[in-house]
Amino acid sequence: MKRIEQVLTDAVIRAGRELWQTDLAESQIQLQKTRKDFTGDLTIVVFPFVRFAKSSPEKAGEVLGEYLVKQLDEIRDYNVIKGFLNLVIDESYWQAMLAVIAKDPDYGISQADDEAPLVMVEYSSPNTNKPLHLGHIRNNLLGYSISRVLEASGKKVMKVNLVNDRGIHICKSMVAWLKYGNGETPESSGKKGDKLVGDYYVRFDTEYKKQVKGMEAAGKPRKEAEGKAPIMLEAREMLLKWEADDPEVRALWEKMNGWVYEGFQKTYDRMGVSFDRMYYESETYKMGRDIVLKGLKDGILEQEEDGSVWADLEDRKLDRKLLLRSDGTSVYMTQDVGTAQQRFAEFPIEEHIYVVGNEQNYHFQVLSVVLDKLGYTWADKLYHLSYGMVELPEGKMKSREGTVVDADDLMDEMISTAKSMSDELGKLSEYNEEEKQNIYRQIGLGALKYFILKVDPKKNMLFDPKESIDFNGNTGPFIQYTYARIRSVLRNVSDAEVVFPQISLNEKEIDVIRLIHEFPEVVKTAADEHNPSVIANFMYDVAKEFNQFYHDHSILNADDADTRTFRISMSKLIGDMIEKGMGLLGIEVPERM
């Protein structure tokens, strides 16, 4: 059965030939959801047809509306508002479509075939000198969710993580542990490894500031004190030893990074995110050097007198970009050039998505241009999924000062709050303790994930834990509660086949059916726009509409058997859709709340 959008598109093309002797292209036909303040289900934008109809938009809309009502049983009525033709879809279409949807357990979710394009999504990219924090949570949830959404749109997806495991910031933690750690380990301290290493990163900054302050008090200028503080000199010396493959430094680096990786994995598992492949900066940071030197040899890049190599991007209205320092060492841009080349050589990537904060907008703009200048035909396949900063009611976070909100601590807080609120409602008394703890986890993490993902990635956001876990309004728990309500209804009926008898539909039922019908288009839009918030806010609309229907109309005590069967079946489809949609956000839905 054709979806109504395709039925209308085909009919408008026929109308173009019969009414205006014009061959219209599908791209000229604009269909959109009818605005809530107008009567209708779908709206056709008439303005593109005016030059063919040789009449006003209103007149062209009237002629097209009359044609469609006569030609299509699926269209019951129409109205024209200026250049917009609003169409009312007949009940018969909705009922027939529901029967088709009921037979498709994967409705709205496409499966990738052998010819499907491969999309690589890079996200997380943590530093191994500190645990994951609230900012990482937004990164990980966005990366994982957009991967799920792209898969649901029919693409193959490879999720990758580039771990920043080298550099001066890593050496700072190592120096502080050697000086102040007294051999402390995750086992001896009872701390997760990433938290233990992060504590020493903070300790380094504390000691460094003390030394700078002391040198200033002794008469040293601030700039000199910052550059020559003894602990900073030790960190720089350690970095040089690391790059020279000093065995003792490398052994310490491997040990402390091992602690961090184990801690990261526990956080990833708890957060519900995963990766198909891990990359490490320590293995990739030199990869772009040969590419840059070849670009220099070919006359694409320029070398300064001090030996540094630059890309002149002024012809692209960008600045000159450093690619190799005067001592021949790489910069981040060089590394990204190398890793991009490696990945496109290894895999048939159709699109490479970098999930990185908006402070790196310029970096990724330059990366694509540099790769293009170096002759890589796939340079335009890079996409920066840029997202805004996450702040708390208390303000910004600072890693070096230890004022960040730790990801594990935040998840603990969310689960604890979910427990308190669930216990107050008192609906889990018949569950054992293990079952209760699982439901608390589902609600707490669902609240966190939904609150993060319902915001357009491009926007900065304020995360308020208390607001996120409210059981009313646009929150994860509200949607989860709607699912649990549906499951409660269905527990009162046998596992009968989902069927839809012919009944006279009321307006609320049609409102719910419209949303079921809309799901595949919502998934496609979210994938095309790289925006999970499209799914999140649609799920809220679904939950809100179903709850309004549930409030106004009885399901189990409907007036007649056919209506009861219809409403039970419709509720089952809504529940299935909520489970799928929330699953695309990485959110579980509990059977009972």
Annotate 549-563 with DSSP letters as a single string: HHHHS-STT-SSHHH
Residue 485 lies in a domain: yes
Give the mean model confidence (pLDDT) for residues 33-51. 95
Give the mean model confidence (pLDDT) for residues 173-197. 97
Quote the CA–CA distance of 53 and 70 in Å, as a whole number: 19
Residue located via tokens 């229907």: 549
pLDDT at 403: 54
Give the mean model confidence (pLDDT) for residues 489-513. 91
Kindly tell me if the per-residue pLDDT of 419 is higher than 60: yes
Q: Show which of 30, 65, 89 is a domain's final residue.
A: 89
pLDDT at 231: 98
Give the mean model confidence (pLDDT) for residues 61-80. 98
Please give the residue range of the domain that contains residue 225. 167-277
pLDDT category, 592, cuts 50, 70, 90?
Answer: confident
Kindly tell me if the per-residue pLDDT of 535 is higher than 90: yes
Q: Name the helix (H) or strand (E) containing 347.
A: none
CATH of the domain at 462: 1.10.730.10
Closest CA to 78 of 49, 53, 51, 58: 58
Residue 232 lies in a domain: yes
* Total number of domains constituting the chain: 3
Query: Are residues 209 and 74 located together in one domain of the fold?
Result: no
Work out the percent of the chain whose per-residue pLDDT is above 90: 89
Query: Are residues 178 and 83 located together in one domain of the fold?
Result: no
Average pLDDT, the chain: 94
pLDDT at 431: 87
Kindly tell me if the per-residue pLDDT of 475 is higher than 60: yes
Instruction: Please say whether the beta carbons of 205 and 401 come within 8 A.
Output: yes
Instruction: Please say whether the beta carbons of 454 and 429 come within 8 A.
Output: no
Q: Show which of 89, 116, 141 is a domain's final residue.
A: 89
Q: Show which of 214, 248, 277 is a domain's final residue.
A: 277
Q: What is the pLDDT of residues 327-347, one digit of tens each?
A: 888 899 999 999 999 999 999
Q: Name the helix (H) or strand (E) containing 351.
A: strand 349-357
Give the mean model confidence (pLDDT) for residues 55-61. 96
CATH of the domain at 39: 3.30.1360.70
Closest CA to 392 of 407, 405, 408: 405
Q: Sheet with 320-324: list strands edge to edge.
A: 302-303, 309-312, 320-324
- DSSP, res 388: P
Strand 31-33 to strand 42-45: parallel, antiparallel, or no bridges (unpaired)?
antiparallel
